[in-house]
Amino acid sequence: MAMRSSDWFQQPSRVDDTPAPLLDPQPCWYSEPLFWQDVLTVQLWQMFAGTYRGVDQPSHRLTEQVPGLESQEPEPHSSGVEPCTKDALVLSPLEPSHRSPAGSQEGSTRPGMAEGGMLPRVAQVPARRDCHFMKPIDWDPEDFKDAWRPDFLPWHSRKLVTPYRMERKRTLKHGEPVLSIAVSSFMRHAFTCGRGGVKVWCLVGQVVEDRLPVSHLRVQTHRAYLRTCLVSSDSTTMLTGGHNLAGVSVWDLMASSLHVRDELPCAALTCQALAAKLEDKLAFAGFTDGTIRIWDLRNQHVVRDLPGPTNGAKSIAVKGQNIWMGGLDACLRCWDLRNAGEPQEYQFESQIISLSPSPQEDWVLVGTANGQQWLQPTRGGQKYMVGCKDSTILGLKFSPFGQWWVSVGMDNLVSIYSMPTGSMVFQVPETSSVMCCDVSSNNRLIVTGSRDHASVYQITY
């Protein structure tokens, strides 16, 4: 009888009961115990991250308890945080857990990025990992195997079918409105972005409400705030942008400690949307003045500025060799990155709030303020409506294989729609308006951001 790869490691050993040492695939900046439980997944991580480091202890799931609430306003923490100087980027070490060896990790800065030779002032605040039991997220390695096989073809996977249901597994108590959110199923972390900074959450363990993140990357610059974040598709880099900052920050998620690796200059501009094209080493940002700026990630140089109307760059998306922009002027614009010509324009009935490109087909999904959802052909042609909600759509995201998408907005609902007709599969209620969403690369998790918290859902097919 066929067995899942994880089942082999649940059989009792006939030779030696001593657990064999496993490699450590977790981010170096995360000090909790291992969260991988399968040799296949560890080997995949080696190919993915190019890292190899032995550990002495066997892997096991962590258990946690919640001691108290977290303040909604940024405030100094009494332990583990170095005092912030006026122009310093402070990256305090994560506080060692009582379940892991003690140790410290120091942050690093790069010169020449801001006044005084420092990067923008953002502090990494440590947090204890204590919470109470609940049924954990199912991290079966089979859910990760297919998408990383070199010979993988999308139609070979059972994960392409439309979701049957989804179950809320965890609530992340961010403490302020979650403006942008990202999830990495390979690293098993979620990233919630509010005005005060980005909080990093571990998704391993038995937790119903998580109030204490692994790290809190605070904005320290006076009168500055964040508006958006983006984790790259390979989970190695995070971009953050906002108001009154010197630039878009490029965070290194593979380093020994979370730190800003580079700064993409955009002084005096307010960033409200981010995108990336990793194969060409390009990063994109949309600003409130309507400009889209393109940087080369290899040298942080500005490649090109694409001008647009004020508030015209509310959302941006990269599809092939085109960059799409939608905004409050109800116009969808498309530039060809291979030339410097004028953009193609497509007029809509209402303001464009969110965009999501199809990963498999030639479509861009458009969400508008009047609740309509449209599929716009990327090669030209007539758009068509694929669903309508009762209120403003604030976020859209296609699944990794493009067979369905998630839609959130001011109707307090998380809605799942199937391709290509836009039939609604099911809806899950939230307690307030849902401002953003993301889908994990393994097609198994949906994360949403709301008024003061984020929700983590697991999908069943």
Answer whether 0.75 is exceeded by the pTM. Answer: no
With a pLDDT cut of 90, the percent of the chain lying above it is 56
Q: What is the 3-state secondary structure (H, E, C) of the chain?
A: CCCCHHHHHHCCCCCCCCCCCCECCCCCCCCCCCCCCCHHHHHHHHHHHCCCCECCCCCCCCCCCCCCCCCCCCCCCCCCCCCCCCCCCCECCCCCCCCCCCCCCCCCCCCCCCHHHCCCCEEEEECCCCCCCCCCCCCCCHHHHHHHCCCCCHHHCHHHCCCCEEEEEEEECCCCCCCEEEEECCCCEEEEEECCEEEEEECCCCCCEECCCCEEEEECCCCCEEEEEEECCCCCEEEEEEECCCEEEEEECCCCCCEEEEEEECCCCCEEEEEEEHHHCEEEEEECCCCEEEEECCCCEEEEEECCCCCCCCEEEEECCEEEEECCCCEEEEEECCCCCCCEEEECCCCEEEEEECCCCCEEEEEECCCEEEEEECCCCCCEEEEECCCCEEEEEECCCCCEEEEEECCCEEEEEECCCCCEEEEEECCCCCCEEEECCCCCEEEEECCCCEEEEEEEC
Q: What's the average model confidence in pLDDT over 313-321?
A: 95
The pLDDT value recorded for residue 17 is: 46
Give tens-digit pLDDT for 43-67.
555 665 554 444 343 333 333 333 3
Give tens-digit pLDDT for 218-246.
998 899 999 999 999 999 999 999 999 99
* Predicted confidence band of residue 265 (pLDDT cuts 50, 70, 90): very high
Residue 138 has pLDDT above 70, yes or no: no
